[in-house]
Chain A
């Protein structure tokens, strides 16, 4: 083969360390990590990024992301990120959080950071379950979904209803851009990457708070095969959490 004719067309983003992740087969986290890393590379942000890892399945994110990171106590990522951003307003600050972290124990920190209009980008992984602890009910668990703490499936009279935190954040005056995407097909993943890029551009333009919610398959705790989990994400999870732009006052238009 003629070496000069060979061109590298696919490689690990610089913003990802050459590490094996601990994520399960078919999990959305690995995809989300890669999308975040690709966008940081494309925007040349790696060396000015400070990330905040959650407690949950992504607690070890600092082992995978190749930029400065801090681990926040459970639910407090956006409070920790607030402290970082106020010290370094010229740096790029992102939080990466799951549904239990962001929408249960950290609800107050999430809403108030958003409402202050902190110039932070949040990647919100919604897989409707507590993954790290072994499949307990999440605030986002859908009606009827069987978790280890919802025998017979989530019952709204007993367990409450799934919470749509992205919609709740959208009514806060100081949020700029909120979009919900899904990590369950090539098309959806490409859409998710554009949303992440837009969220990052919102921060780079100093516009305010933005969040990208990513519906993410959890085959292990949903007790499905990966492909079934992808299909379930698209056909069932999106009924509770419809995809699309929930709020956009950025004026940035469509991102390529």
Chain B
């Protein structure tokens, strides 16, 4: 049975959804603004006989994730931007070793120590791979607490399906915001399909080794092609996005996560005033919904990208649109949260073509 409708903050939603998705191992290190998630799990995992460790660092926690995943556990870690930077080495190893894990980044302002305000400035790091080597991480960007619950659940299944880490990319606002949420039926992790690569002692079988070092160049070449084939399959099968009032739109705003909530507010205000404005919201940031966005881009349709950073996702938008539409950008870095009225000003400026708010992106 799905749960009753509950009023919860986003950070707790991720924790509860993870436990219900069968996650029994969490390793993390405190950093604002996501501490409510490990705090919640420290109690909740105790209740279900799981393991919570507050590690000595983000580096240690992602390596505990490697160990628990290699041992076959459903495992998660979480952090915020500077801490996610520290986990990048481990994320590269997880990809190289083909180990599943769920990694939550509640983004804050950067670079450096930055601040603890909501931000979307880790888009490049998340979608391009902040660590070394040819690898990809499936990146899910929820925009509500209900979607946080759904995507957290899905993240564990996707990680297992592809034997690859999956990142949930939220921000400080999303972690704190309280909204009603309904959870899916809990999964008993003991009933998940067995994995044929995990380390649990070699009784009755040949010993297994989990490693990413392949010194022989042709062997590493083949390993990389194998990984690439997985990424190609993700690109073919796992793209998710939402469109809102785009059919007749002369201006399509493109935003994800918290920014998309604000953008949707702007769309609703402008529709009331008769403007033909819509919203395209990527839910997977990698793989990016390029084909779907390209289909919407055409002569007479302008694209307005709004993101909480100086402009990172806009590069994927430019690649998707491929010159079919004008692309404009409203990039707000460092933590100020624009209102729907601010985004409306941007949208009106784009429609007027006066360049007063935001900027036209030269391709």
**Closest chain B CB from A189 CB (angstroms):** 26
A109–B60 CB distance below 8 A: yes
Residue A108 CB within 8 A of the other chain: yes
**Closest chain A CB from B154 CB (angstroms):** 23
Contact with B along A49-76 (1 / 0, CB 8 A): 1101100000110110111111111001
Contact A79 to B201, CB < 8 A, known contacts A67-B207, A68-B208, A70-B210: no
Chain B residues near A83: list those with CB within 8 A. Answer: 25, 27, 63-71, 73, 75
**Closest chain A CB from B215 CB (angstroms):** 9
Contact A62 to B209, CB < 8 A, known contacts A79-B60, A109-B60, A112-B55: yes
Residue A86 CB within 8 A of the other chain: yes
A82–B208 CB distance below 8 A: no
B89–A79 CB distance below 8 A: no
Chain A residues near B201: list those with CB within 8 A. Answer: 47-50, 67-68, 88, 91-92
**Closest chain B CB from A114 CB (angstroms):** 11
CA distance A87 to B72 in the complex (A): 8
Task: Give the residue among A50, A66, A81, A109 with the most B Cβ atoms within 10 A.
Answer: A50
CA distance A91 to B201 in the complex (A): 7
Chain B residues near A46: list those with CB within 8 A. Answer: 202
Selected contact of B210 from candidates A65, A66, A71, A88, CB within 8 Å: A71
CA distance A81 to B60 in the complex (A): 11
Residue A201 CB within 8 A of the other chain: no
A91–B75 CB distance below 8 A: no
Chain A residues near B200: list those with CB within 8 A. Answer: 50, 68, 88, 91
CA distance A211 to B57 in the complex (A): 22
Q: How many residues of chain A are within 8 Å of chain B by beta carbon?
A: 38
Chain B residues near A48: list those with CB within 8 A. Answer: 201, 203
Contact A73 to B63, CB < 8 A, known contacts A68-B208, A86-B68, A108-B56: yes
B90–A82 CB distance below 8 A: no
Residue A145 CB within 8 A of the other chain: no
Chain A residues near B51: list those with CB within 8 A. Answer: 86-87
B60–A50 CB distance below 8 A: no
A62–B199 CB distance below 8 A: no
Using CB atoms and an 8 Å cutoff, list the residues of chain A in contact with chain B: 46-50, 52-53, 59-60, 62-63, 65-73, 76, 79-88, 91-92, 108-109, 111-112, 116
User: Could you list some 23 contacts between A and B, CB below 8 A?
Assistant: A50-B71, A50-B200, A50-B201, A59-B213, A60-B213, A62-B211, A67-B201, A70-B199, A70-B209, A71-B213, A73-B63, A73-B89, A79-B63, A80-B70, A82-B60, A82-B67, A83-B69, A84-B199, A92-B201, A108-B56, A108-B60, A109-B63, A112-B60
Which 9 pairs from chain A and chain B are nearest by CB?
A83-B67, A79-B63, A83-B68, A71-B211, A87-B71, A76-B63, A80-B67, A112-B56, A83-B64
